Each structure stands twice: as C-alpha cells, then as structure tokens.
Amino acid sequence: MTTEATIEQATIDWLEDLGYTHKDGTTISHQPKAVVLKEELLAFIQKTYPQLPPELQTLAVGEFTNNVGADLEHRNRSFHLKCTKGIDVDYEDAQGNEKAVHIYPIDFEHPENNSFWAVNQFTITGKNKRRPDIIIYINGLPLIVFELKNWYDENTNLKEAHNQIEHYKKDIPQLFEYNALTIISDGNEAQHGMFSSGMEWFAPWKSTNGKDTVDEDDFQMHTLLFGLFPKERLLNYIKNFIFHEDHNGSLIKKGAKYHQFFGVNFAVEAAKQSVRPFGDGRIGVIWHTQGSGKSISMAMYTGILRSLPELKNPTIVVQVDRSDLDMQLYENFVLAKDLVGEVQHAESTNDLRQLLSAGAGGVIFTTIEKFRLKQTTDDTLGELEHPILSERENIIVMADEAHRTQYGLLDGFASNLRKALPKASFIGFTGTPVDSKDADTEEVFGNVIHTYDIKQAVEDKATVNIYYEPRLAKLHLWNENIDAEVDAMANDDEDNSNLKWAAIEDAAGSEDRVNKIAKDILSHFTKRIATLDGKAMVVCMSRRNCVKMYDALTALDDCPEVAVVMTGNISKDPIEWNDHIRTKDATEALKKTL
C-alpha cells in the first residue's frame, strides 16, 4: 500500500538521481530551534573565500543568518537579497593592505561547488515541534520545503498539504526566513509556490525542457523535479526568478511559473547570440498570452540582462505604444526593483533624449511617440531627421505589444527610434497573436523565441476560457464606393487618411444602431447570468462610441452597474465625458467594484 513514507522515498530517490545527497535528519546534530546548518555554511565560505581571515569567515556566517525585519515576510526578503546579491566584506591582508571582497553563500555560477542535501526526518522546535517531510539544504541553508500527503488517503489532498505549511509558518517561522520555494503534493498532484502565497497561486511545473508540455494527471512530482530541480536550473530560479513587491510596506513574494522561466531563459540565450556586435540586433519575439504574467517576465528578463558581464552594463529601453500602458508597465517594474534596480521614466521627448544620451546602464521607460521630430515654435523648419542619441551596442529595446507600432521602418516613430539608436538590439513581447496581415513581426524582431498560447494558459488555469458568440449588427453606408474614394483622396492628401475611419465610426455610433445593440446586449447578458454568474465587457471602436453605448445601456430598465474605462484628455474632451475620466486610484477602486 502506498503511504506518505513511500511518496517521500520516491521523491528522495529522484533527487538522488539529480545528484542530491540524502541525509537522515535524525543523524544531524543541531540546536533544537536552529534551522541553518552553520558548520556546513562556514565550510563553504572557507573553501570559496580562503583569503578572508577566520574571524571574518565566521562573521560572514552570522551576517547571512541574521535577517532583519519586523515580520516573517520582511526577514525572508532580507535573507533573499543577501543570498542572491551577496554582501561586501572589508579586511586587511597579512601585509596590512585594505581589501574588499563581495561574497555569496552560494556559488550560483558553478553548481558543483555547492552541497545539495535532501534532508528528511529533521525536527525543528518552535512554538511546537514540527518535522517537515523534506528540506533541501544548499550549503547548510534550508531553501526549499516539501510537504507530502498520501494520495490514497481519501481524507487528505493538496489543500491539506498547503494548510500544513500554514501551520508550520506559525509553529516554526524561523524555517521560512530562508525559504525560497515551497512544494506541496498529495502523491499525485505536485505544485510549487511561495511560502506566503495562498493556495490559488501554487501551480504545477509542466515541462522538463521548456519546449514540450507535459499535461500529466499522475505523478506530477517527476516533471516538477526533473523540470526545475537540476542543480544549475534551481540556482538560476532562486537567483533570477524570485522577488518581493513592496506595496506600501506590505510585501508580496512572487516566483516564476514554468512558461516564464523557460521563455525568459530562451530569450537570454537569444540575446547573447543576437545583440550587436555578436548578431544583427534582432533578438526575437516572446508570445505569452494575456493574463500569463508578461510584465513579470519582462522584469525578470531585464534583471538578468543587466547582470550579464558580456553586455557590459547595458541600457534597457522599455518601449510601449500608449501612455496608459506605459505607466502600468512602469509601475510593475518599480514593484520589481529587487530584480531590475532603479527605473527611470521619460516624461517628454527632451527628457528621453537626455536619458538616452547619458552613459551606460539603467532602465528607461518611454512611449514610442516620444521619438518624434522636434518642431520649431516659429515658421522656420524643424528637424528633418531624428538625431543619433547613442551609438552604443549594449542598448536593448524591449517593445511591449510588438506588432502594433513597430513597422514604419522607413518613416514614422519606429524609424526615428532606429535612427536614434542605430546599434541597439530589439526584442518584442506580445500577449496577442501576431497578425501576418499587419506586418512581418519576425522580419522586424527576429524569430519567435517562446510561445505560451491561450489554450495552454486555460489548461494551466492561468486565465479563464474565452467564448465567442457572433452577433452581427450591419453597418448601412449610403456610399458603397467609400473605400476607393477615400483611398484616392488619401493619396493626394495625407491628412485625409482617417476619413474612412471617421465615416465608419459615425455609422457604427448612429443612435438607432447603438440603441438596438444596447437592448440586445442587456437581453443576452440577463439570460446568461440567470444560469451562469459573471460579468461582461463591451468593446467599442472609439471613446465617443463607448460613451454612446454607456448612455444607451443605462437608459434601459433593469440595467446593472456599468462603467466606461477609457483614457482622457481634459483639454480636448467634451465636458460630458468628465464622469468617465478617472485618476489611477479611482480606476483601481473600480476594478475591485466591478
């Protein structure tokens, strides 16, 4: 009969296959409340930094095990930053010369220089005595906790394993000061997550190579171990794919899912081959569907690029095509500053030019329209061509939603960007499928590096299913030749290129049509929520038509709460739109309401 002990032994056997050393915790001498094996950590520091005087080697052990913070989450962050970024130690050599060395408790570059122990039956005393199933010790540091349940016990499941972790946090919190990753399993399912996360944020690891997905129902532990726990891969994850967001003093710890880990790592390798002067500057495209954590992937990618010695302190330019997306992504990067460092935001064209003309390093956010030509205030001619801002080869431009505004390479903002940074390299991140009718994304950015599509995201429960039910409301245009006539006008006068759009917008927003569609939407929505609770989103072709649809819906009897979400320009927008223009805080509050 399968028991928890059987599952535990199978996990240990697999870890041994990966080169981990199994240790019986009952044979390890330690103080009851101690969780760090300090002798093992000291042995690593002595071997790795023999030039340090013995007293400073001991002092370094104390520094790595003295974590500062008012609560467990802050102490965990304190340790994680020291572990992944190292600490500075100043000393005098035998000749009395002042020296400084930057030391780490783990050799992230050479896995073979570290000790990897899989320890079971290790008792820790806190509020109560507890014995986690398996603890992974690296150089004496307890970085990973496994909690295993018996699949064949009908009274237990994955949630029970997570609940036990919650009790451990109360009973032996000292263990989780050092915790990088938590694994829970019921013997069938196996999921990874952060110790501070709710059950909904734990997820299976579904690939061993990043290319093939394993959608297995049985023995997920095997894929998780062989997909994440090879030593080099695990150290990479701990160093580059875990961070803490600081929300006004409240910390949220986050770690990558399998598609983010592999996608970013593939993109790092692509950069090494493609960044000038090694390649042609076309790094490629990451296509990760909406809701899959694309902004986090971009931040993790940025953090790794900034640490690559071959890039010599690169400048990362994060470029988006809309101001609201610019601020949203910028704020996500600020929250991930443990990974990316300080982030600068270009407030104007002049500000952008000044930032890009500065020295190497840094992360700069901008919208693509800031790569505009300067115009004079008088009647004299302005700039005819965008000036070169930097000819450095270690500038990497990350384009968000890569296939929207990147194809005017002969003219327009995209052309100006490349003239401003002629030796930069480019990578595109997109959450929506690339439409070959719009432009050749691979021609601009290079090959698709990694794909995580909506089908896989739904299977992984990273996003919800999207159902499409066509409901057509035809446009009736009096001029059937409008396409040809407007195209002819546009050839003669560039300012007329938007006439067709304006005509269709007027037709789509006609009062009779909007009223009919509003009634149909409300009827359809009412019938759906009678059997399936949910919310609805109505997308219109313009802000003006959004307001018209709002007015039509709210005029109907039994209309539920409705809100318009759109950008605003108070210097140009009609006063009637004022109620629909919100501050960032008001928009965030609206998200929680609707």
pLDDT at residue 409 in the model: 52
Percent of the chain clearing pLDDT 70 (strictly above): 87
Query: Residue 494: which pLDDT band, with cuts at 50, 70 and 90?
Result: very low
Domain boundaries defined on the chain = 4-252, 257-459, 509-593
Bridge partner list, 130:
124
**Which pLDDT tens digit goes with each residue over 350-363?**
999 999 998 888 99
Helix intervals (H) in 509-562 = 511-531, 543-554
Q: What is the DSSP letter of 128?
A: S
pLDDT at residue 5 in the model: 78
Q: How many CA atoms lie within 13 A of 474 on its CB side?
A: 3
Q: What are phi and psi of 366, to 5 degrees?
A: -160, 155
DSSP helix/strand/coil, 141: strand
Average pLDDT over residues 446-467: 85
pLDDT at residue 270 in the model: 97
The tokens describing 26, both together, are 């009952």
Nearest to 394 by CA among 314, 340, 301, 281: 314
Q: What is the DSSP letter of 506?
A: H
Gap between the Cα atoms of 305 and 320, Å rounded: 19
User: Which residues touch 156 (CB under 8 Å, ≥6 apart)?
Assistant: 149, 150, 186
pLDDT at residue 489 in the model: 53
Gap between the Cα atoms of 202 and 184, Å rounded: 9
Q: What is the DSSP string of 520-533?
A: HHHHHHHHHHHHS-
Q: Under a CB-based contact definition with an 8 Å cutoff, are residues 353 and 371 in contact?
A: no
Average pLDDT over residues 397-401: 90
The CATH number of the domain covering residues in 257-459: 3.40.50.300
User: Which residues touch 505 (CB under 8 Å, ≥6 apart)?
Assistant: 541, 542, 544, 545
Nearest to 553 by CA among 591, 584, 586, 526: 526
**Which pLDDT tens digit goes with each residue over 33-76?**
999 999 999 999 999 999 999 999 999 999 999 999 999 999 99
Nearest to 257 by CA among 197, 192, 213, 338: 192
Q: How many CA atoms lie within 13 A of 399 on its CB side?
A: 28
Query: Residue 1: which pLDDT band, with cuts at 50, 70 and 90?
Result: very low
For residue 428, is pLDDT > 80?
A: yes
Gap between the Cα atoms of 136 and 379, Å rounded: 71
DSSP helix/strand/coil, 316: strand
pLDDT at residue 438 in the model: 46
Q: Under a CB-based contact definition with an 8 Å cutoff, are residues 279 and 317 in contact?
A: no
**Which pLDDT tens digit goes with each residue over 239-260?**
999 999 999 999 999 999 999 9
**Which pLDDT tens digit goes with each residue over 516-529?**
999 999 999 999 88
**Which pLDDT tens digit goes with each residue over 273-327?**
999 888 999 999 999 998 899 999 999 999 999 999 999 999 999 998 776 666 8
Q: Under a CB-based contact definition with an 8 Å cutoff, are residues 283 and 302 in contact?
A: no
pLDDT at residue 265 in the model: 98
Nearest to 239 by CA among 62, 427, 70, 110: 110
3-state secondary structure 169-213: HHHCHHHHCCCCEEEEECCCCEEEECCCCCHHHCECCCCCCCCCC
Q: How many CA atoms lie within 13 A of 41 on its CB side?
A: 22
Angle at 230 between CA 49 and CA 107, to 5 degrees: 10
Report the DSSP pairing between strands 181-185 and 129-130: unpaired
For residue 197, is pLDDT > 70?
A: yes
Q: Under a CB-based contact definition with an 8 Å cutoff, are residues 367 and 321 in contact?
A: yes
Q: How many CB atoms lie within 10 A of CB 191?
A: 21
Gap between the Cα atoms of 35 and 28, Å rounded: 11
Average pLDDT of the chain, as a whole number: 88
Place of tokens 């609206």: 590
The tokens describing 526, both together, are 């009412």
